[in-house]
């Protein structure tokens, strides 16, 4: 089976009333930063928190009665798992999901809450997939691939039809890419209708199988490595998605982990949008000058928002440290009454906000007449931070920044 525009339009009819046609919003700060008209397609607001319900539901709706009776199985880092679990529950069929052992806790819990049986296996998507195929054969369950399936691609391609229905159609569309199901569907929908629109795929540099495959001219398998963009961390593009990527996608670029993290923080702080790593890579490529766009109107697809709270906390903390808005320092003071109060008074005078403080006078490395004070201090930025350090030095304090 191949993927056609007719297939995508049929999927759109099946999904009518099932999914949310997600909004496209203008990003003011991104536009001012880049000099372009930047729009965000917010699939993080889709049911289950990502675009995956589109392809999963379309695939299940095409199954036979016998297949429905036995149930479905898949392998997923989490978003496809949730989409398939919800779709299976809608049709009243059993769903089993194999997820990597180090998968997102948020995605694991959400998949179980949707009624799926979850098995943890392997360290990567590909190892989980191999185990799922074994179970599929043993239990006669229908395997629903996360991306390498025409019905799944057709469901994802409905995003492309929504973009084309906009009054001001984007001239360039930036799409996250892992195995290729999302971008294959979107690119087929758009290029078959408006071939002048540029389609750019964006990958995490730590999992850039599609980018490498396009350079080689054939699917290439890479070793598995960790990435913040776990939703697109696959070792090779699909055998069915790759020809479509070659045919329809104009280019594929990569972004590194720091660029992904900073874009997640940017979206939270500036756009009030919660994006997971895979969902943020498209905008990251634009903000970090990785793409050469066509025209002025650019749409970045925010493909999902399922991110663990503990990861969000780390991203915020590291981002604030990098921007100089959070300072961690050790200050040596005299171990006499009033010394700590004097230090705190100086910091208060400079409007530094103390988040956490630890006063140590008993540590082995602390001399008898001194005390060590570890402080987490919130500042207004790098210039404010420098002014505080300059003041402390002028007052005779020995300070050391912690990273």
- Tell me which residues are annotated as active site: 52, 303
Tokens for 269, please give them.
Answer: 């702080």
Tell me, yes or no, if the two domains 5-50+149-318 and 52-143 fold the same way. Answer: yes
CATH of domain 5-50+149-318: 3.40.50.1100
Is 3.30.70.260 the CATH classification of the domain at 324-402? yes
Q: Where are the domains of the chain?
A: 5-50+149-318, 52-143, 324-402
Phi, then psi, of 152 in degrees rounded to 5? -65, -45
Q: What is the pTM of this model?
A: 0.87
pLDDT, tens digit only, all 403 positions of the chain:
589 999 999 999 999 999 999 999 999 999 999 999 999 999 999 999 999 999 999 999 999 999 999 999 999 988 999 999 999 999 999 999 999 998 888 889 999 999 999 999 998 888 999 999 999 999 999 999 999 999 999 999 999 999 999 998 999 999 999 999 999 999 999 999 999 999 999 999 999 999 999 999 999 999 988 899 998 999 999 999 999 999 999 999 999 999 999 999 999 999 999 999 999 999 999 999 999 898 899 999 999 999 988 889 889 888 888 888 898 999 999 999 999 999 999 999 999 999 999 998 887 777 888 889 999 999 998 899 999 999 999 999 999 988 6
Residues 6+ apart with CB under 8 A from 17: none
- The vertex-158 CA angle with 157 and 164, nearest 5°, equals 100
* DSSP conformational letter for 45: G
CATH of domain 52-143: 3.40.50.1100
Decide if 352 contacts 300 (C-beta within 8 A). Answer: no
3-state secondary structure string across the chain? CCCCHHHHHHHHHHHCCCCCCCCEEECHHHHHHHCCEEEEEEHHHCHHHECHHHHHHHHHHCCCHHHHHHCEEEECCCHHHHHHHHHHHHHCCCEEEEECCCCCHHHHHHHHHCCCEEEECCCCHHHHHHHHHHHHHHHCCEECCCCCCHHHHHHHHHHHHHHHCCCCCCCEEEEECCCCHHHHHHHHHHHHHCCCCEEEEEEEHHHCHHHHHHHHCCCCCCCCCCCCCHHHCCCCCCCCHHHHHHHHCCEEEEECHHHHHHHHHHHHHHHCCCCCHHHHHHHHHHHCCCCCCCCCEEEEEECECCCCHHHHHHHHHHHHHHCCCEEEEEEEEECCCCHHHHHHHHHHHCCCEEEEEEEECCCCCCCCCEEEEEEEEECCCHHHHHHHHHHHHHCCCEEEEEC
The residue among 134, 132, 158 whose CA lies nearest residue 145 is 132
């Amino acid at each position: 089976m191949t993927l056609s525009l007719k297939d995508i339009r049929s999927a759109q009819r099946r999904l009518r009333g099932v999914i949310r046609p997600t909004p496209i919003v203008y990003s003011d700060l991104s536009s001012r930063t880049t000099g372009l008209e930047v729009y965000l397609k917010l699939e993080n607001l889709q049911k289950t928190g990502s675009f995956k319900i589109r392809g999963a539901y379309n695939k299940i709706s095409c199954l036979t009665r016998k297949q429905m009776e036995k149930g479905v199985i898949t392998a997923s880092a989490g978003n496809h798992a949730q989409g398939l679990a919800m779709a299976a529950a809608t049709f009243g069929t059993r769903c089993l999901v194999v997820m990597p052992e180090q998968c997102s806790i948020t995605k694991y819990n959400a998949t179980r809450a949707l009624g799926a049986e979850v098995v943890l296996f392997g360290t990567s998507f590909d190892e989980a997939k191999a185990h799922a195929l074994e179970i599929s054969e043993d239990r006669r369950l229908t395997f629903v691939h996360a991306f390498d399936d025409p019905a799944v691609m057709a469901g994802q391609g409905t995003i492309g039809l929504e973009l084309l229905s906009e009054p001001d159609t984007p001239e360039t569309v930036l799409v996250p890419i892992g195995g290729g199901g999302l971008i294959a569907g979107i690119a087929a929908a758009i290029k078959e209708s408006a071939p002048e629109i540029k389609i750019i795929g964006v990958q995490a540099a730590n999992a850039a199988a599609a980018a490498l495959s396009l350079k080689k001219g054939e699917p290439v398998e890479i070793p598995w490595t960790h990435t913040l963009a776990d939703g697109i961390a696959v070792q090779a593009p699909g055998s069915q998605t790759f020809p479509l990527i070659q045919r329809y996608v104009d280019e594929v670029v990569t972004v590194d982990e720091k660029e992904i993290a900073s874009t997640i923080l940017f979206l939270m702080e500036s756009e009030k949008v919660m994006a997971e790593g895979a969902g943020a890579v498209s905008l990251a490529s634009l903000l970090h000058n990785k793409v050469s766009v066509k025209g002025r109107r650019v749409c970045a697809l925010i493909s999902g928002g399922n991110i663990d709270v503990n990861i969000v906390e780390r991203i915020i903390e590291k981002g604030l440290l990098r921007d100089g808005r959070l300072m961690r320092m050790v200050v040596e003071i005299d171990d006499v009454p009033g010394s700590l109060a004097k230090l705190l008074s100086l910091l208060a005078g400079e409007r530094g906000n103390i988040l956490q403080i630890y006063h140590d006078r008993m540590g082995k490395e602390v001399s008898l007449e001194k005390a060590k004070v570890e402080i987490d201090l919130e500042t207004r930025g790098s210039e404010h931070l420098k002014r505080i350090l300059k003041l402390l030095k002028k007052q005779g304090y020995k300070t050391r920044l912690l990273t």
